[in-house]
């Protein structure tokens, strides 16, 4: 391991601290390498030299892809060497192959010169904000780890529990999501976000995993009166995030076949409204539902 204070060997144990949290303060240049990769051996001394020369303007994080295959797979590493520049929890640029020093320097300068001075650096993101960023990037496991660590440090934090519960639903871990709901205080359970989580779980419970959205859409297209297909399709559309289409599907079902599933369309619509929370679209949709009911 290098003696330089600007070079760090990264494993899954310190990945979060060095790359996720560390990049909120200082850009992190992540070098994915392997012993058998000759271009990696060519690039390594160039990166190490620049890390020392730039004196902390960035941190060089080295990841041995043979030893840390899980990290490499999660980040979609397909070739070596691959180098990613991460700032404030997000990948801002990357390159593959052993570039000459001049090109690596130009790569760094393009981003580091634009970085805000130290006294103007934004505050570090909260665990919830960081987890949201990671989820948007597709790093569900890392987002989950951030929130579980935050929950361990502050078990009474309802906002963290709700955020973790919503992430568990997205990952299909419904029992864990219910556990997050169960530990909420009476005050936290009344929050809009907790209602959104309850709505998501209700929809997940009602989802028919034995069929897919395309098959249901095809069945409904062939028979517009197929209430079962419309009901199941609306649920899948909502879980996929296409709530406008889901609401339209279920409103049409409710208007056409109010009795289906013991008023299933209406109760599912209420779950979607809970899931949407304070979304401004909820009011008009509620009024439309009321008009259909009366």
- Express each pLDDT in 41-97 by its tens digit: 999 999 999 999 999 999 999 999 999 999 999 888 999 999 999 998 888 999 999
Q: Say if residue 80 is in the same domain as residue 107.
A: yes
Structural domain total, the chain: 3
Per-residue pLDDT, 136: 83
The pLDDT confidence band at residue 105, using thresholds 50, 70 and 90, is: very high
Q: Give buried/exposed letters for 218-244 (b at 16+ CB in 10 A, else e).
A: ebbeeeeebbbbbbbbbbbbbbeeebe
- Domain residues for 139? 127-194
What is the pLDDT at residue 229? 96
- In this structure, the answer to whether residues 38 and 84 fall within a common structural domain is yes
Whether 2 has a pLDDT exceeding 80, the answer reads: no
Instruction: Please give the pLDDT value at position 124.
Output: 60
Let me know whether 34 and 113 are in one domain: yes
Q: Is the pLDDT at 223 greater than 70, yes or no? A: yes
Residues 93 and 74 in one domain: yes
Residue 207 in any domain: the answer is: no
- When mean pLDDT is compared over 90-94, 113-117, 225-229, the highest value belongs to 225-229
Question: CB–CB of 282/273 below 8 Å?
Answer: yes
The domain that contains 41 carries what CATH number?
A: 3.40.30.10
| 100 shares a domain with 35 | yes
CATH of residue 285: 1.25.40.10
Give the pair of three-digit tokens for residue 64. Answer: 């041995």
Whether 203 is covered by a domain: the verdict is no
Please give the mean pLDDT across all residues of the chain: 89
What is the predicted pLDDT for the residue at 120?
A: 46
Residue 105 lies in a domain: yes
Order the strands of the 90-96 sheet from edge to edge: 7-9, 59-64, 28-33, 82-87, 90-96
Chain segment 194-214, per-residue pLDDT in tens: 998 998 899 988 999 899 999
Q: How far is CA 15 from the centre of its chain?
A: 17
pLDDT digit string, tens, across residues 135-177: 888 888 888 999 999 999 999 999 999 999 989 988 888 899 9
One domain for residues 140 and 75: no
Q: How confident is the model at residue 270 (pLDDT cuts 50, 70, 90)?
A: very high
pLDDT of residue 288: 84
pLDDT of res. 226: 96
Asked if residue 122 has pLDDT above 60, the reply is: no
Average pLDDT over residues 255-268: 91
252 within domain boundaries: yes
Averaged pLDDT, 263-280: 90
Both 71 and 167 in one domain: the answer is no
| Residues with a known catalytic role | 37, 40
Cα–Cα dist 192/203, whole Å = 17
Check whether 131 has a pLDDT greater than 70.
yes
Cβ 77 vs Cβ 41: under 8 Å? no
Residue 25: predicted pLDDT: 87
């Amino acid at each position: 391991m290098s003696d330089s204070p600007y070079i760090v060997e990264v494993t899954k144990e310190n990945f979060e601290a060095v790359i996720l949290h560390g990049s909120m303060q200082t850009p992190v240049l992540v070098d994915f390498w392997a012993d058998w990769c000759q271009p990696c051996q060519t690039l390594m001394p160039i990166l190490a030299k620049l890390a020392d020369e730039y004196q902390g303007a960035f941190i060089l994080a080295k990841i041995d892809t043979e030893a840390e295959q899980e990290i490499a797979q999660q980040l979609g590493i397909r070739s070596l060497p691959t180098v990613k520049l991460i700032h404030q929890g997000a990948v801002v640029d990357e390159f593959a192959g052993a570039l000459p020093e001049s090109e690596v320097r130009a790569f760094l300068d393009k981003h580091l010169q634009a970085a805000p001075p130290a006294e103007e650096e934004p505050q570090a993101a909260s665990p919830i904000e960081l987890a949201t960023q990671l989820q948007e990037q597709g790093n569900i496991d890392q987002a989950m780890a951030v929130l579980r660590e935050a929950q361990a440090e502050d078990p009474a934090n309802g906002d963290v529990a709700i955020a973790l519960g919503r992430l568990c639903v997205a990952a299909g871990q419904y029992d864990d999501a219910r556990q997050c709901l169960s530990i909420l205080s009476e005050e936290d359970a009344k929050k809009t976000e907790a209602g959104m989580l309850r709505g998501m779980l209700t929809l997940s419970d009602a989802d028919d995993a034995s069929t897919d959205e395309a098959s249901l859409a095809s069945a409904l297209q062939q028979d517009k009166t197929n209430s079962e297909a419309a009901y199941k399709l609306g649920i899948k559309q909502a879980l996929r995030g296409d709530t406008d289409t889901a609401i339209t599907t279920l409103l049409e079902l409710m208007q056409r076949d109010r009795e289906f599933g013991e008023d299933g369309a209406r109760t599912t619509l209420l779950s979607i409204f809970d899931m949407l929370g304070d979304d401004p679209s909820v009011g008009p949709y509620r009024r439309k539902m009321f008009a259909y009911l009366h």
